[in-house]
Structure 1
Amino acid sequence: MERDRSGRVLAALSVSPALALAGWLLAGLPLLLAGRFAPLPAVLLGVPAAALLCWAGTRGVLRGRRGAGQGVQATPWQVAGVVAVAAGSGVFNVVMHSEQLLVRRDPATYAQYAAWIAGHGSLPIPNQAAAFGGHHPSLYFHSVGTYAVDGGVVPQFMPGPPLVFAIGDWLGAPFAVPAVLGALAVLTVAGVAARLAGGRWAVLAAAAFAVSLPILYTSRTTFSEIPSLILLFGGLALAQDAIEAERPGWRQGLPAGLVLGLAVLVRVDGLRDVLPVLAYAGLLVAMRRSGRPQGAVGVPLLVGLVAGAGLGLLAAYVLARPYLEYLSGSVRPLLLICAVVLVLTPVGVAVAPKLAGFRPPRWLPTAGAALVVLVMAGLYARPWFQTVTRKATNAEDARTAEFIAQIQQANGLPVQPDRLYFELSLHWVTWYIGIPAVVLATVAAAVLLRRLLRDGRPFVWLLPLAMIGWTTVTTLLRPEITPDQPWASRRLVPVVIPGLIVLAVWGLGWLRERSWPRERVRRWATVAGVLLVLAPPVVTSIGTAFTPVERGEAAAVRSMCAALPAEASVLFVERVTGDRFTQLVRGMCGRPAAQVKRPPGGSDLAAEPEVRAAVERVRAAGRVPVVLAADPAQVAPYGTPRQIMGLVTRQDERSLVDPPNGTWTLRVNVWMAVG
């Protein structure tokens, strides 16, 4: 009874983060679309919505309404261990938090997005062209992380993460929210491990996950991967609870589908990640027709999934259409695949009764298991027979190639700007969770697939195995990210790392029960297995875990904003400074900001006549022209140079062929001249 009670507590704790997050997003998105996203309405709608979903999703679990012998079995000490790991993770990452506000990469874009909607509650962001004497061909108002639209700019990414990060801006603790989300992710992954592998392995899964470098990395600043992980793995846990419920149906299936579907509101890639859920829901509907009680979850799961994903796509179309168009080359094929699966699902349901007596060939289970091993072996051996490259065909690709060449020079590697290093993707995984964990996960996946193909059991593993397998393989084949580490490791966070860790601890349990008949030998073998799972990620993480990056940016930004005249209209005349600070000055300093166009030919500096003309138009508009750049000589023609930022801090290492083991120096200078 004690194990049952503790298990129910762990089961409820591990799905509550996803349910609460879903409730907040469901309330926040309509407010943002209406231009009314502010603390009072968000709290009045978001807190009850989160509480209602938590109540609906955990009521049956806490009351023990589950099938006989089903559910999470855990001791009070195991539950306490999971909570301790999660709490320790949260505290550690709060202490070591990053302050990425200067728009150099995605975290700062998310931070600026969150700061804007926290302070203004609406999109698009007005360009305030009147403060520069009106629109003029020599000025533009977008920068890195934003796209130009009529009368303003829109941020680059999906609105889900900023809707959550804005809470930190309202509370005056913007750098704490990512760490809190990271701690909740630890709870979520541990809950999935407890359901699928047993409570005894939940603490190991939580610890191995929490110490992995990509998890530390994305739990310290404003990335989208951790919120996505919470929704995806929380949805998996809810789906399992739904099919194991004593009376499965709408109350259990709808929240599970909704949580999974809302992953699209956080990341466009979430559409790919939840694709297996479509087919799984169709299978459940077919099972309903054959009289199996789990089938009652199929329709509500599908409805919730379509509703959540539909909200995500609506948000993308209304609030991030330029971003969607930029990704159209990959989004359109993905939408087509989703449409095909959606059409084939009812076809499969219709023909399912005719296949009721079908028995797979005897060789199929073994062939499926062998295929798992061959795929993983092929991915690991990929660097020996493939070098992934891409010729630049647009400005974005050209900038990426130039960036890769710079990193290659810094790393002492041959300069090959077209290289993408995607062939190393499975090696990235072994760096961050270790070869033993990858081997255990591969063995576990092979064993589980063989069992599922042989007799359909364990059925609870069907959806997790499909989602983990599908996303892992597609992600590792085409990570589609600039390949420097630890930056590229973020691609592994939503599914690959947590999924392989859950599989690995199940594999460790499977080996423990089958390989050593003597209890003493079994005990020591288990200890050795635990160390093999924990030690490699700790060794990789230790080089950077205790070094926060980009600290001091918040203070530097406050000082810079204070130095700008109250009636300033800010003109950026140098490319890098404009890219980093245009939206920051507009959103965090509250001053109109624009960049002066640079002459063609690759120059980073605007032509002096164009700048002088822009300065005169600002004066004519009754405002104070302020010119910003990275060097005093760049602003000297327009007034007396004054340095308003001289930041020296640490930044992420950029490693291409090895795991990161340190940080690099970052210097940022901003000079001002008042025209």
Structure 2
Amino acid sequence: MELDRPGRVLAALSVVPALAVAGWLLAGLPLLMLGWFAPLPAGLLGLAAAALLCWAGTRRPGKLVQATSRQVAGVVAVAVASGVFNVVMHAEQVIVRRDPATYAQYAAWIAGHGSLPIPTQAAAFGGADPALVFKSVGFYQVDGAVVPQFMPGPPMLFAVGDWLGVPFAVPGVLGGLAVLAVGGVVARLAGARWAGPASAVFAVSMPVIYTSRSTFSEIPSLILLFGGLALAHDALARVGAPGGTGHGGLRPDGSGWGRGLLAGLVFGLAVLVRVDGLRDVLPVLAFAGLLIAMRRFARPQGALGLPLLAGLVVGAGAGMLAAYLLARPYLSYLSGSVNPLLLICAAVLLLTLAGTAAAPLLARIRLPEWAPTAGAALVVLLMVGLYVRPWLQTVTRIPTTLDDRRTELMIEQTQQVNGLPIDGTRLYFENSLHWVIWYVGLPVVVLATVAAAVLVGRLLRDGRPFEWLLPLAVVGWTTVTTLVRPEITPDHPWAARRLVPIVIPGLILLASYGLAWLGEQTRLRDLAVRRGPAWLSGPGLRRWGTALAVLVVLVPPAVTSIGTAFDPVERGEAAAVAAMCAKLPPNASVLIVERVTSDRFTQLMRGMCDRPAAEVVREKGSDVAPESQVRRLIERVRATGRVPVVLAAEAGQVSPYGPASQVMALVSRQDERSLVDAPNGTWSLRINAWMALP
């Protein structure tokens, strides 16, 4: 019994992050919709829901993982070190320039007000006026209110930091929990021996460090997806999946059924965190259909099909409901990719239903003997094709929208700084596999390819190891679709965030299995050939081989990360914003007359300074609003009894309305923007803001 305890501890620790996040989101979403997302109700209901799910998902775990105390301690140590390091080196992105600050402002608003949408407070400017614009980067103006971009899941998590007075600590804590989730899945599928090294490779990878220091959605998404994989594995183990460690049937206590329901729920809630979660969980839908079909043949694991599907529908349904009610403008903006994705989901659902109905007929089909070899070869050819893609294709996009044009201009500016040929239509997506190699190293990619080929061959041969079918489908599907079309502005480390939820941890998982498989082949060879010195064979050689393997997979990502790991970005923003807010009159109505300042500060004024703010409409081709309009709006503000404040980036832009005073003079560092190499440093960042009191 004592020998099993470390394994049970690791199995429980690695699913607790996903269950806790799921419980908090399930409790927080209805509160947010009702306008009651406040510390007391959210704390009481969220903590209770998180505790309930953690209890349900970890009780009577059984023998799911075989591990030693040292192996468990290794995973936990890496997780704690990762969390502490990234909390200490946190970023402070609150001035809206890219997504992290949008998430931070979203979280700050709901933490302080508990409801959506955000009121425009037009009355503070004398009422609605055609010259007043209340939208800004990341925030849409719809029906007299402001609606934040993005799904509400991550802001509901980040709001906890605002309530506790540590707004920049939550991302680092979530990053540490993500290490536990990845280590737990590796321990289940590749062996606890490789869980510690895999956790370390994951933790030192630059994209993981990058997204664990600021308010990104990728780390919460990863926690849910890998937590779902762990729970699904545990459920299969409880009911006796082929090749698994189960007991041959559904237990009387229903723990296998319950874990299947929890696995589906956790998977589905990934949609509440990112719209891309719909794509990521498509293989889970197909897998649930397969399990339902297997039930018709009295296979014990078939009992998990319905609970897995039910949980998936509930979780994804909550996400889609939140998207429709709280992020509808965002869905409209993404309609070009969301609509095809919904069609793909419908097609997968129909195919799943058809396959389930036709299961007896399909069961009669026997794959040809060459199918396993062909499947393994196809995996290798696919990876080779992605590797040579830069020499065969140049991915471009002709701008058709204002956002496309802005992206084109940004790429041109970045190309100029990087010393590259100027072509703003370039997207650099053809380099996507090379991005992965930058961040995890060629050994991990090669080992993952070998492992995927071996697993595909085995699954096509006899359906074993069955516990690998769902992880391989999720990792393979998302990795290929992400690498073919990353759909992100291609500067790094920014673009690296696309690799975080599945691609990087998935390849590390497969590489760990590859190492375990190679180790098994070496052991079998040693058993067959007993000769040579003892230190060159048997346990001695395996120990040296393990140490060498760990170095081979750990050193490349560590070397890439070292250039930026100790350089936190955008430090000082929080203090600069607090100082700026203190300089505003308590009853100010802020008129922002310059484009960049409006993008950066409109929502910040509302959410962090608690002042009504609006941009004054600019004439086409101009970055500054016409003076006549500004003066007219100043008088409208005065008529309400409030104090008009004019805000812009330069003194000369506000001086026509009164004495100019500088309210922000931030000097900090920002992320590098690299297009063809891994980033190895940071760039300077200066943000100025000037105010006039007319």
Task: State how far apart, in whole Å, the 2-side matches of 1:571 and 1:376 are.
Answer: 53
Deviations, residues 235-254 of structure 1 (Å, cap 9, x unaligned):
00000100111426431211
Unaligned 5+ segments in structure 2 are 239-246, 527-536
SS in 1 for 2:368: coil
Match for residue 7 of structure 2?
7
Match for residue 344 of structure 1?
351
Task: State how far apart, in whole Å, the 2-side matches of 1:362 and 1:6 are.
Answer: 42
Match for residue 561 of structure 2?
541
Kept in 2, the 8 Å contact 1:26–1:49? The answer is yes
Alpha-carbon shift at residue 522 of structure 1 (Å): 3.1
Match for residue 508 of structure 1?
515
Match for residue 231 of structure 1?
224
1:520-531 alignment runs, 5 A limit: 520-531=540-551
Which range moves more in the overlay, 240-249 or 631-640? Answer: 240-249
1:235-274 alignment runs, 5 A limit: 235-245=228-238, 246=247, 247=250, 249-274=256-281
Alpha-carbon shift at residue 47 of structure 1 (Å): 0.7
Match for residue 278 of structure 1?
285
1:334-413 alignment runs, 5 A limit: 334-413=341-420
Alpha-carbon shift at residue 38 of structure 1 (Å): 0.4
Kept in 2, the 8 Å contact 1:100–1:550? The answer is yes
1:443 is matched by which residue type in structure 2?
V
Does structure 1 residue 569 correspond to structure 2 residue 589? yes
SS in 2 for 1:144: coil
Alpha-carbon shift at residue 529 of structure 1 (Å): 1.4
Match for residue 670 of structure 1?
689
Of the three residues 645, 665, 672, the one matched with 1:646 is 665
Does structure 1 residue 589 correspond to structure 2 residue 582? no
Does structure 1 residue 621 correspond to structure 2 residue 614? no
Task: State how far apart, in whole Å, the 1-side matches of 2:402 and 2:144 are.
Answer: 24
Task: State how far apart, in whole Å, the 1-side matches of 2:355 and 2:512 are.
Answer: 34
1:181 is matched by which residue type in structure 2?
L
Match for residue 242 of structure 2?
none
Of the three residues 617, 635, 640, the one matched with 2:654 is 635
SS in 2 for 1:60: coil
Task: State how far apart, in whole Å, the 2-side matches of 1:350 and 1:585 are.
Answer: 57
1:551 is matched by which residue type in structure 2?
R
1:160-309 alignment runs, 5 A limit: 160-245=153-238, 246=247, 247=250, 249-309=256-316
Match for residue 243 of structure 2?
none
SS in 2 for 1:666: strand
Match for residue 414 of structure 1?
421
2:689 is matched by which residue type in structure 1?
V
Alpha-carbon shift at residue 572 of structure 1 (Å): 0.5
Task: State how far apart, in whole Å, the 1-side matches of 2:457 and 2:666 are.
Answer: 57
Deviations, residues 387-421 of structure 1 (Å, cap 9, x unaligned):
10000001000000000001001111111000000
Deviations, residues 147-170 of structure 1 (Å, cap 9, x unaligned):
011121010000000000000000
Task: State how far apart, in whole Å, the 2-side matches of 1:572 and 1:410 are.
Answer: 30
Match for residue 20 of structure 2?
20
Task: State how far apart, in whole Å, the 2-side matches of 1:138 and 1:229 are.
Answer: 43
Which range moves more in the overlay, 224-233 or 36-45? Answer: 36-45
Match for residue 486 of structure 1?
493
2:177 is matched by which residue type in structure 1?
L
Task: State how far apart, in whole Å, the 1-side matches of 2:4 and 2:472 are.
Answer: 25
Match for residue 75 of structure 1?
68
Alpha-carbon shift at residue 60 of structure 1 (Å): 2.5
Match for residue 85 of structure 1?
78
Alpha-carbon shift at residue 288 of structure 1 (Å): 1.1
Deviations, residues 269-292 of structure 1 (Å, cap 9, x unaligned):
000000000110001011111111
Task: State how far apart, in whole Å, the 2-side matches of 1:242 and 1:332 are.
Answer: 33
Kept in 2, the 8 Å contact 1:2–1:75? The answer is no
1:25 is matched by which residue type in structure 2?
L
Alpha-carbon shift at residue 622 of structure 1 (Å): 1.2
Task: State how far apart, in whole Å, the 2-side matches of 1:340 and 1:430 are.
Answer: 33
Deviations, residues 275-327 of structure 1 (Å, cap 9, x unaligned):
00011000101111111111111000001001100110000000000000000
Kept in 2, the 8 Å contact 1:138–1:597? The answer is yes
Match for residue 146 of structure 2?
153
Task: State how far apart, in whole Å, the 1-side matches of 2:200 and 2:274 are.
Answer: 26
SS in 2 for 1:625: strand
1:447 is matched by which residue type in structure 2?
V
SS in 1 for 2:60: helix
Of the three residues 487, 490, 498, the one matched with 2:505 is 498
Match for residue 131 of structure 2?
138
Deviations, residues 649-670 of structure 1 (Å, cap 9, x unaligned):
0000000000000000000000
Kept in 2, the 8 Å contact 1:573–1:606? The answer is yes
Deviations, residues 409-454 of structure 1 (Å, cap 9, x unaligned):
1111111000000001000000000000000000000000000000
Task: State how far apart, in whole Å, the 1-side matches of 2:562 and 2:258 are.
Answer: 44
Q: Indicate the percent of aligned positions where both proteins have the same amino acid.
A: 74
Unaligned 5+ segments in structure 1 are none
**TM-score, length-normalised on structure 1?**
0.98
Deviations, residues 347-387 of structure 1 (Å, cap 9, x unaligned):
21121122333321111110000010011110011100111
SS in 1 for 2:358: helix
Does structure 1 residue 557 correspond to structure 2 residue 564? no
1:434-513 alignment runs, 5 A limit: 434-513=441-520
SS in 2 for 1:569: strand
Quote the RMSD (CA, aligned, Å): 0.9
Match for residue 58 of structure 1?
58
SS in 2 for 1:644: strand
Of the three residues 607, 610, 619, the one matched with 1:599 is 619
Task: State how far apart, in whole Å, the 2-side matches of 1:525 and 1:235 are.
Answer: 32
2:223 is matched by which residue type in structure 1?
I
SS in 1 for 2:50: helix
Match for residue 426 of structure 1?
433
2:479 is matched by which residue type in structure 1?
T
Of the three residues 122, 133, 139, the one matched with 1:129 is 122
1:29-40 alignment runs, 5 A limit: 29-40=29-40
SS in 2 for 1:333: helix
Task: State how far apart, in whole Å, the 2-side matches of 1:669 and 1:327 are.
Answer: 32
Deviations, residues 190-236 of structure 1 (Å, cap 9, x unaligned):
00000000010000110000000000000001000000000000000
Match for residue 46 of structure 2?
46
The number of residues matched between the two structures is 667
Task: State how far apart, in whole Å, the 2-side matches of 1:192 and 1:325 are.
Answer: 36
Match for residue 108 of structure 1?
101
**TM-score, length-normalised on structure 2?**
0.95
Task: State how far apart, in whole Å, the 2-side matches of 1:325 and 1:4 are.
Answer: 51
Of the three residues 654, 672, 675, the one matched with 1:656 is 675
